[in-house]
Amino acid sequence: MNPKLDADDSGLFNTLKALWPYMWPSDRPDLKKQVVIAMVALIIAKIVTVFSPYFFGWATDSLNNQSDLPSWLPEVLIAPVMLVLAYQAARILAVAFNQYRDAIFSGVGLHAVRELANLTFQHLHALSLRYHLGRRTGGLTRVIDRGVKGIEGIVRFTILNGVPTVIEFAFMALVIWFQFGFLYVVVVAATVVAYVLYTVKASNKRIQIRRDMNEADTDANTKAVDSLLNFETVKYFGNEGMERTRFDNAMAGYEKAAIKTWTSLAWLNFGQALILGIGMAVCMAMSARAIQAGEQTIGDFVMINALLMQLAMPLNFIGFIYREIRQGIADLEAMFDVLGVEPEIQDKENAKPVEIKQGVIRFDDVHFHYDEARKVLHGVSFEVPAGKTIAIVGPSGAGKSTISRLLFRFYDVTGGAITIDGVEVRDVTQSSLRHKIGMVPQDTVLFNDTIAYNIRYGRPDATDDEVREAARLAQIDGFIESLPEGYNSQVGERGLKLSGGEKQRVAIARTILKAPPILVLDEATSALDTHTEQEIQSALDLVSKNRTTLVIAHRLSTVVNADLILVLKAGVAVEQGTHAELLAQDGLYASMWARQREVDEAEARLEAMRKQDEGFILKGKTAEESAIESLPVEG
């Protein structure tokens, strides 16, 4: 879908080929018109630029009392002052057309940047969960940021600077040939060739240095983002010093690579100046000898100097443009690598939107592994009848959460099939499938926006009244209305301004608003305390009413009323039945239930002791203080 770019092999042509549809968009005739207008302004600007030194030379001859000025010049311009003014007017006119060109073309370049940035963002969301679990967010965002800037640089320097430089050099060569002779063109051409070859060779060496600097920059940014995302963990362990050292080591690598970058740039600039200086010296010496021989005038000497000075500007741009384009391609490599990754999970060509009439879910001999060495599910089969609730329990690592990921098609089964109302999930579109399934996860991560935004995420077109009703059903409306800004309160990064129970209620409200026919509760209360769990559970019971519900449970007490409980162990369904039936079997579920009862009883005893201490505190002393006071005191 997207060509793979390589700064060493593919070159500028393949890069422009990949970017051309965005610089010349077929659906934007207005942008095409802007490109044409910009090119016309470019040509006019270069014509004026190349011919303006003539006025400078004529002004010099006029001041030197030389009368061999062109006969076609109007008398009003023959005066030295008027020729100087004409020279400056031509320079101003050239700048005006150049700036007009840049302004007109800016819309084209920024359109290309926007389109490719959107394409990359969309592609990232299309990639599989496996890809994102293996990437580091800080490094990925840095790659995209540099890639987008690389796009802008290539578009701008190729069209706005590269093409004008070539045109200006062509015009300049013709003028020098016409005015001074072919030998001058040979010297200038030799200078340009040497300049370009040196620039290309030196810039190619700098590409690897640039890559090393980018890698060091990415590594430092990744460590910084990772550390800030885990701010609380850093504080818990008091490891600010370790994090600072870790970041400083990464920045030391960037510093070393950046020094090499600037050093190599200094040598590049010096070499360019040396080559250009030698070329100019040769041309000026030739002109000086021609003046001594009476073949040229002082005005010609001034004119060739002005022409060579003007030639130096586009030559400097050639070096700058080449470096920027090569560096832009290097920056684009990583982003195009991302664009070149094919999504692991893709819709079939004939995939249709899912239509849920009843909501019967069936896992039929499902096998799955993340890789060949890690097989997770081994022939799991069960059915969730329409409007019923099935719970999946088992020890950690049994494959419980994998089942919900397979149902959402974050992964595809490696064997067997998953169907909804008899239609396999691989035969329907992913977007329609996920639209019909609601999820309340164990770890609710919210967007750094308002509470209203996070609830409305379940259905973006919902009205304010519908958002409030969802919050009421999730039993969080009272808390929200108690906040100074109410529903407009910011939840912070990943929702860290809210407690675990509050975040879960927001997730429940979001799911209520979505109103899906199928609901998945993935250990939705396992991270909460017993009291909060009981409050959340009542809201979950309300949400799951009359919906086909799949509950992945850690606390068995939350699933005792499920229509069917499936017990997983090492990816195999070892038991299934109702709560009473599984207790009667006296197997794995019964042993898990017994252990949880022991834990619950221990927690209950601790809670009772805590309340007893609170009672003593209310009377002015704790249980420990009362016990100490009862001890005998020596006289």
Contact indicator for 158, 325 with CB cutoff of 8 Å: yes
Residue 261 in tokens:
């970058």
Eight-class DSSP state of 428? B
Please tell me the predicted confidence (pLDDT) of residue 323.
Answer: 67
Residues 496 and 535 in one domain: no
Helix, strand, coil abundance in the chain, percent, nearest 5? 65, 10, 25
Residues 462, 514: Cα–Cα separation, whole Å = 9
Does residue 39 belong to any structural domain of this protein?
A: yes
109-140 pLDDT, tens per residue? 788 778 877 887 888 888 877 777 766 655 67
Helices 80-126 + 137-155 axis angle, to 10: 150
CATH no. for residue 569? 3.40.50.300
CATH no. for residue 79? 1.20.1560.10
Mean pLDDT of 561-588: 89
The neighbour count for residue 109, using CB atoms within 10 Å, is 21
DSSP helix/strand/coil, 361: strand
Q: How far from the centroid of its chain's Cα atoms is residue 229's Cα? A: 17
Q: Which long-range contacts (CB under 8 A, 24 or more apart) does 183-189 make?
A: 183/286, 184/283, 184/286, 184/304, 187/279, 187/282, 187/283, 187/286, 188/279, 188/283, 188/308, 188/311
Eight-class DSSP state of 436? T
Pick left, alpha or beta for residue 48 (phi over 0 → left; psi -120 to 50 → alpha; otherwise beta). Answer: alpha
Domain that holds residue 494: 450-515
Residue 222 has φ and ψ, to the nearest 5°, of -60, -45
308-351 pLDDT, tens per residue? 777 777 777 666 677 677 777 777 777 777 777 788 888 888 88
Residues 495 and 525 in one domain: no
N-terminal to C-terminal alpha carbon distance within the chain: 93
Eight-class DSSP state of 4? P
pLDDT above 90 covers a percentage of the chain that reads 8
Residues 253 and 385 in one domain: no
Please tell me the predicted confidence (pLDDT) of residue 417.
Answer: 93
Residues 505 and 549 in one domain: no
Does residue 234 belong to any structural domain of this protein?
A: yes
Residues 578, 561: Cα–Cα separation, whole Å = 8
Eight-class DSSP state of 3? P
Does residue 347 belong to any structural domain of this protein?
A: no
Of 495, 515, 535, which one is at a domain's C-terminal end?
515
Of 478, 497, 515, which one is at a domain's C-terminal end?
515
243-266 pLDDT, tens per residue? 888 888 888 888 888 888 888 888
Confidence of residue 535 (pLDDT cuts 50, 70, 90): low
Q: Quote the radius of gyration of the chain (alpha carbons, Å).
A: 37
Please tell me the predicted confidence (pLDDT) of residue 363.
Answer: 92
Residues 189 and 81 in one domain: yes
Residues 556, 308: Cα–Cα separation, whole Å = 85
Residues 335 and 409 in one domain: no
More confident site: 154 or 258: 258
Q: How far from the centroid of its chain's Cα atoms is residue 588's Cα? A: 46
Residues 123, 117: Cα–Cα separation, whole Å = 10
Does residue 617 belong to any structural domain of this protein?
A: no
Please tell me the predicted confidence (pLDDT) of residue 632.
Answer: 46
Q: What is the mean pLDDT of the chain?
A: 80
Is the per-residue pLDDT at 540 higher than 90? no
What's the Cα-to-Cα distance from 493 to each of 82, 138, 228, rounded to whole Å? 67, 15, 11
Of 500, 515, 530, which one is at a domain's C-terminal end?
515
Residues 127 and 20 in one domain: yes
